[in-house]
Amino acid sequence: MATLALIDGAWERMFIWLGVALVIDAVDGTFARMVRVDQRLPRFSGERLDLVIDYVTYVFVPALAMIRGGFLVGTSGLVIASLILVSSLYHFSDLASKGEDYTFIGFPAIWNVVALYLFALAPPLWFNYAALLVCIFFTFIPIRWVHPVRVAKLRVVTLVVTTLWSIAAIAAVAFGFPSPFWVQAVLVAAALYFVAMTVELSVRAHF
C-alpha cells in the first residue's frame, strides 16, 4: 500500500502506511511468541520473514520514495540509492548488528525515518547527498546507536523524547510536506538528542 501511494505521489499516505508497518513491526514478535509459532511451525523462521519485510519497508520503499520525491536525482541519485540498498543488505546480514544492551551496532538502516526527515525539512540537494552518504558510511562503523524504546540509560528522558518525536512525525504527515517550523524544530532536536546518546554510548563502550 505504501508503494502504491508512492507511485501516486501521495507522500502523506505513503508515510501513513509505513507508520502502520512500523507499529506492526513493534508487536508482531509478541504475538508470535504468544501463539508459539516456533513450536507449531518448526520449519518456519519468523526472524527471516521479519528481515525480509523490514528490508522492504525500512529500505526499499524509502529509497524509491527519495528518488520519486526529487531528493535523489540523475545518475548520482541512482548511485546513492544503490548504496543505500547494498549497505542495508550488509546491515541486515550482520550477525553482530545488535548489542547486548539493545543498541544497534552501525547505522540501523532506518531509511524510512531518514526519508521522513527529507520530506519534512525539504533541505537543499547537496545536504541530502551529504547526509545520506554519512548514514551509509556509518553503517560499516561499529558504533552503538541507541534504541528509542529499549534503552536503559536515561530511559525516562529518552522515552519522553521518543514520544515528542512521534507526535512531531504524526504532525508532519497531518500538515503535509514540507512541515511547519515547530514540527521541523522538534524533529531536529530529537535527532540531535539521539546522536548525542549514540556518541555517549559508543565512547562508554570503548573506554
Contacts 24+ apart (CB under 8 A), 14-22: 14/61, 14/65, 15/116, 15/119, 15/172, 15/173, 16/173, 18/57, 18/61, 18/62, 18/112, 19/169, 19/170, 19/173, 21/53, 21/57, 22/57, 22/112
pLDDT tens, N- to C-terminus, the chain (207 residues):
999 999 999 999 999 999 999 988 888 878 888 888 888 888 888 788 889 999 999 999 999 999 999 999 999 999 999 999 999 999 999 988 887 777 889 999 999 999 999 999 999 999 999 999 999 999 999 888 888 877 767 778 989 999 999 999 999 999 999 999 999 999 999 999 999 988 887 777 665
Provide the pLDDT for residue 112: 97
User: Which spans in 140-178 are helix H?
Assistant: 155-175
At residue 132, what is the residue type? L
Q: What is the pLDDT of residue 206?
A: 62
